[in-house]
Amino acid sequence: MEFSWGSGQESRRLLLLLLLLATWEAGNGQLHYSVSEEAKHGTFVGRIAQDLGLELAELVPRLFRVASKGRGDLLEVNLQNGILFVNSRIDREELCGRSSECSIHLEVIVDRPLQVFHVDVEVRDINDNPPVFPATQKNLSIAESRPLDSRFPLEGASDADIGENALLTYTLSPNEYFSLEKPSDDELVKGLGLILWKSLDREEAPEIFLVLTATDGGKPELTGTIQLLITVLDANDNAPAFDRTLYKVRLPENVPNGTLVIKLNASDLDEGLNGDIVYSFSNDVSPNVKSKFHIDPITGQIIVKGYIDFEESKSYEIIVEGIDKGQLPLSGHCRVIVEVEDNNDHVPDLEFKSLSLPIREDAPLGTVIALISVSDKDMGVNGLVTCSLTSHVPFKLVSTFKNYYSLVLDSALDRENVSAYELVVTARDGGSPSLWATASVSVEVADVNDNAPAFAQPEYTVFVKENNPPGCHIFTVSARDADAQENALVSYSLVERRVGERALSSYVSVHAESGKVYALQPLDHEELELLQFQVSARDAGVPSLGSNVTLQVFVLDENDNAPALLAPRAGGIGSVNELVPWSVGAGHVVAKVRAVDADSGYNAWLSYELQPGTGGTRIPFRVGLYTGEISTTRVLDEADAPRHRLLVLVKDHGKPALTATATVLVSLVESGQAPKASSRALSGAVGPEAALVDVNVYLIIAICAVSSLLVLTLLLYTALRCSAPPTEGACAPGKPTLVCSSAVGSWSYSQQRRPRVCSGEGPPKTDLMAFSPSLPDSRDREDQLQTTEESFAKPRQPNPDWRYSASLRAGMHSSVHLEEAGILRAGPGGPDQQWPTVSSATPEPEAGEVSPPVGAGVNSNSWTFKYGPGNPKQSGPEPKKQTQVSFLLRRKGEASQPRQ
């Protein structure tokens, strides 16, 4: 045969067709892999990309993918390395059942160009399924009369595996009655079964338990078992029999109904009705037992159906019989002893037999307050009761005798701290868990009068304005008593004493119940500046207790006294006649107005004003604002009127201010007539004062003479004895004369005098002054004399301002303390004046000086106070001690210098 090729174009077409056929044939190639079932995830199966001739770099661009119909994602390809691996669990029995061949078919598809590959993955079987019988147990009933070699067929086991893994062999557990008949490959031979080779005896072995085991041929081999229960049937030829003839059971009391006491077990060797047993109580059982217990006729269970109380009965005896159901019933008997156990089911009982309440707070320790009895119906430890008491109370429990306790006082009581106690007595038994009972009792503490009334502070200071209305309330005292009832009922009274010549009760009174203190009469600061007394507070207890409180009532000054003019030297009351020469110069003092004010502080600070004349003429006189001295303002000339009537207004600094007026008649005379007129005026108007001055001068001269004589004698005596020249002159500066304060506060001469009074600056002074602290001082003899006379004529009450410094009194009366302020200067053109105060001669330990008394016209004589006879520190004024004062006298007419 001859074959010839066509033209070249046909040849090319034929070659191309052959290449396409070759490519198609290659694309339709099939790969085979195998993998074991139950392989783990990621198990290597094969290099599918390499085996298919595909490059790894082409897998993703060409959309390499694997598809499997109905197999899910059991296998997967890793596009990075082209390996086929196990992705999920593969179960051969689930995929293919009992088929001998099992594989997974995969289709591998790639695009560009399109190619389809077929891959078969064989799933290899492993021995992962044991043999399984149709049931776990098989029951067989065989009569004991069956002959030997009897055959009893059995159903074999099945295995889901294949091949050697499913090849089964059977074995039977060792026994003395049956053997195993094994199946063979020949279908004509009998299958699996049991063969009886020993006679059965139901009384000896009523049931026979066998185990049939099937083992497969896998490696490792697996097995399956089935239990064979063979029941041997028998006739009724045996009576029921209990396990024991005597049962003892311990049953707690108070168990609920339905509680199982015991389950009796009687056996009968027979079977069927002959072996069925019925349980019941014997006819000999008491009705009490039948009311407490019930027996189940089928199960033989004895259960509780009544209340079991140990305190009622401690044990029960029950006779039980079991009867079978045979034609000729047979019975068996047993006895059950039920012992009841005691439970801690009774709470202790508490009872107060006697109470002794309330208890006095001063009751002695060990006082019995109550007797308590305790009891418990339980027995043994459950009935053993102990008592306890609330902690932290002043009481305790004392066991007196069996089941009795005494509540006694253990520590001292104080009703003021705790007035009542709530006691809780707890009785607890010894059970586990223990039970307890409580009883409460309120113990009230009776009050005893052991606390005196007490004031909030030991001393009160009260300020009352003078001129108060009678009966006004000035203060309320209050005392507290920590006791109760009548022991705390406080009444108030004054501690009576005398104030000067009068009783304290004439000044003040106190309300017995409220403690309000009343002023019975208007108080006068000028009469009584300090009223100090005590108020007593006493309770109503028996015996009564009390305490005192001190009240210091300071009477505050009011401006209720107008300035009082001292008696003038000439003329009528309130007027002074003065003769003044025409030739006097400016500043000549022509007269002095003297006035005093009984008030204190600003109310007693006086100022003087010259009222303008009625004629409108210019008066050539002026008055010192605080001195009261009337002096000329210029040189007098003939144009001035020969007679001048001057009206001086004296005004204090109170609010409102009170005033007084004084009239001064000034007559201008020739120079030759003035001394005579003055002499006549002195002789006529001041005769007694001039006489007293003469006496004082003579007295001073006499004292100086005697003192000089005494000093001369002492010097001569010393010169004779010691031959030493005298070292001290006969006229050394004299020691200041001492002045004492009487009990009523007025000044008088002390008994300590010097024989001679001299001044180191000049001749001896001619003025000797005695004064009262409530009257003003003056620098001229006449004022001093009048002041002394008034002081002796009208004694005053002692000034109680010793407790306060001048600055405090100044604050109380709106005044200024002299010792701190120094000098009060008047306005422009006015003279200087020392600050007036109302200080008495009080022994203030800190005071070194005392300012002059209140009043006008202080020009002034200066003095220094020294307190006590050589003792600068005194605690306060004493009634019988006098205050010694030394002062320095100046000559009349000497200019006063302010004290710095």
Instruction: Give per-residue pLDDT as tens, 731-749.
Output: 333 333 333 333 333 333 3
- How buried is residue 347: exposed, middle or buried, by Cβ count under 10 Å (0-12/13-18/19+)? middle
Instruction: Give per-residue pLDDT as tens, 760-786.
Output: 333 333 333 333 333 333 334 334 334
Q: What order of strands is seen across the sheet that includes strand 589-592?
A: 589-592, 629-632, 621-623
Dist. CA 307–CA 327, nearest whole Å: 40
* Cβ partners under 8 Å of residue 651, min gap 6: 563, 606, 607, 608, 609, 657, 658, 659
Q: Is 645 helix (H, G, I), strand (E, B) or coil?
A: strand
Judged against a pLDDT cut of 90, whether residue 462 lies above it is answered with yes
pLDDT at 658: 93
Dist. CA 200–CA 232, nearest whole Å: 7
pLDDT at 819: 31
Q: Average pLDDT of 830-845?
A: 35
Dist. CA 708–CA 668, nearest whole Å: 46
pLDDT at 652: 94
Q: How confident is the model at residue 812 (pLDDT cuts 50, 70, 90)?
A: very low
Return the higher-pLDDT residue of 488 and 23: 488
pLDDT at 695: 58
Q: Left (φ > 0), alpha (ψ -120 to 50) or beta: where does 586 sit?
A: beta
Return the higher-pLDDT residue of 285 and 773: 285
Dist. CA 743–CA 741, nearest whole Å: 7
Closest CA to 516 of 553, 473, 454: 473
Judged against a pLDDT cut of 60, whether residue 542 lies above it is answered with yes
Instruction: Give per-residue pLDDT as tens, 254-269.
Output: 899 999 999 999 998 8
Return the higher-pLDDT residue of 52 and 742: 52
Dist. CA 575–CA 582, nearest whole Å: 22
- Phi/psi at 698 (5° precision): -60, -40
* Cβ partners under 8 Å of residue 529, min gap 6: 554, 555, 797, 799, 800, 801
pLDDT at 82: 86
Q: How confident is the model at residue 202 (pLDDT cuts 50, 70, 90)?
A: confident
Return the higher-pLDDT residue of 464 and 818: 464
Judged against a pLDDT cut of 70, whether residue 846 lies above it is answered with no
pLDDT at 702: 86
pLDDT at 142: 81
Judged against a pLDDT cut of 60, whether residue 646 lies above it is answered with yes
User: Quick one: tokens of 83?
Assistant: 């390996």
Which contiguous run of DSSP H or E holds residue 607? strand 606-610
Dist. CA 800–CA 440, nearest whole Å: 64
Task: Look over the chain and give the mean of its residue pLDDT values, rounded to a whole number.
Answer: 75
Q: Is 546 helix (H, G, I), strand (E, B) or coil?
A: strand
The CA–CA distances, whole Å, from 505 to 312, 495, 508, 509, 890 equal: 87, 9, 5, 6, 48
Instruction: Give per-residue pLDDT as tens, 65-76.
Output: 888 776 668 888
Dist. CA 813–CA 558, nearest whole Å: 8
Which contiguous run of DSSP H or E holds residue 103? strand 103-110
Q: Average pLDDT of 454-478?
A: 94
Give the residue carrying structure tokens 């001129």. 467
Angle, CA 746 vertex, CA 741 and CA 747 arms, to 5°: 60
* pTM: predicted TM-score of the whole model, two decimal places: 0.42
Share of the chain above pLDDT 90, in %: 32
pLDDT at 509: 95
* Cβ partners under 8 Å of residue 359, min gap 6: 367, 369, 409, 413, 443, 444, 445, 446
Cis peptide before 113 (omega within 30 of 0): yes
Closest CA to 104 of 116, 120, 124: 120
Give the residue carrying structure tokens 């037999």. 353
pLDDT at 217: 86
Give the residue carrying structure tokens 């016209």. 857
Q: Average pLDDT of 648-668?
A: 92
Angle, CA 640 vertex, CA 636 and CA 641 arms, to 5°: 130
User: Quick one: tokens of 115?
Assistant: 């190619």
Dist. CA 131–CA 155, nearest whole Å: 13
